[in-house]
Homo-oligomer: A and B are copies of this chain.
Amino acid sequence: MTTPLPDFADLLAAAARIAPYAHVTPVLRSRGLDELAGCELHFKAEHLQRAGAFKFRGACNAVFALDEAQAAAGVVTHSSGNHGAALALAARLRGIPCHVVVPAGAVRSKLAAIQAYGATLHECAPTIAAREAECARVQRETGATLVHPYTDPRVIAGQGTAAMELLNAVPDLDLLVAPVGGGGLSSGTALATAGSAPNCRVIGAEPSGAAETFASLQRGERVTEFTPDTVCDGLRGTLGEINFELLRRLRVDVLTVDDAATLAALRLFWQRCKQTIEPSSAIALAAVLAHPEVFAGRRVGIVLSGGNVDLDNLSALLSK
């Protein structure tokens, strides 16, 4: 493996680096949801993070870790949404160019957010090969640094700061649940927990229609061949190599959740807590509600990863 794994020191450095820019998001509670779930829930509200998702943490850490010469040439990434917006905002805050390669058919409201932060959009076919080729072209022509949405040690370290804040705010968590897509948030969360609260168990919540992380950890080798089929548009990425390695070493368990359960949890959270979270966030609550045998009576942290919902698409979603 050529990419080094980030460690807890990288996470502490990330926390210091992003402190001037990122919000320390609140931890939310709900009596009603505690009763329903039969456990004590502490929600880390990353939907209230800048650019509407935890992704700003990793992007911000990556952008502000660049030296002056690297920074001057800007950054580039491929992202169907939240990471693109997050990188665009981080680049704007540092005053450097940002290029975002987006697949055709990406969520409209997320593309609008990326453009609103001043990044240049490059549309490509919705395949991994096409987006990597387009990224490579932009890198070649501009000298921009690639900031991958999740297979990047600086990004992973940044994402881990959300869990670190939660563990500092609520020191006695028994379990901490984070959504799993490409593995940026979940591996960062595992790193934070290993460093801050080693007795707390980290559980990933993954869509059953894109459960390659679950399969990878079961088999002991990374599964990359799969076709995602899930409403969780933030969790369709393929588990990264260093992400897999971290999840494996740090013994993260994954629970799979079907879309119906995720959408039911989304409705429930909207109704009870009046917070607009996206399906990729609601999956973590859905995992808790579906597995009382794991969570009953425990003190549970949940990372609400983001709140960037496409309201036009939501109608179709909720009628599913």
Contacts and interface: CB of A to CB of B under 8 A. Distances in A.
A308 B271 CA distance: 7
Given A315-B315, A315-B316, A315-B318, 12 more contacts: A52-B274, A109-B271, A270-B309, A271-B308, A271-B311, A274-B275, A275-B275, A275-B276, A311-B318, A312-B318, A312-B319, A315-B319
Contacts of A275: 274-276
Contact of A274 (B276, B316, B319): B276
A104 interface: no
A48 interface: yes
Contacts of A318: 311-312, 314-315
A271 B308 CA distance: 7
Interface string A162-189: 0000000000000000000000000000
Contacts of A47: 274
Interface string A265-298: 0010011001111000000000000000000000
Nearest to A308: B271
Interface size class on chain A is: 20 to 34
A276 B276 CA distance: 6
Which 6 A-B residue pairs are closest in the complex by CB-CB distance? A315-B315, A274-B307, A274-B276, A47-B274, A270-B276, A276-B276
29 contacts: A47-B274, A48-B274, A52-B274, A109-B271, A267-B311, A270-B276, A270-B309, A270-B311, A271-B276, A271-B308, A271-B309, A271-B311, A274-B275, A274-B276, A274-B277, A274-B307, A275-B275, A275-B276, A276-B276, A311-B318, A312-B318, A312-B319, A314-B314, A314-B315, A314-B318, A315-B315, A315-B316, A315-B318, A315-B319
A18 B319 CA distance: 39
Interface of A: 47-48, 52, 109, 267, 270-271, 274-277, 307-309, 311-312, 314-316, 318-319
Contacts of A314: 314-315, 318
A9 to B, nearest CB: 32
A271 B48 CA distance: 11
Contacts of A274: 47-48, 52, 275-277, 307
A277 B314 CA distance: 16
Nearest to A269: B276
A277 B311 CA distance: 14
A86 to B, nearest CB: 15
Contacts of A277: 274
A41 B301 CA distance: 32
A284 to B, nearest CB: 16
A252 B275 CA distance: 32
Nearest to A109: B271
A78 B59 CA distance: 52
Contacts of A109: 271
A89 to B, nearest CB: 11
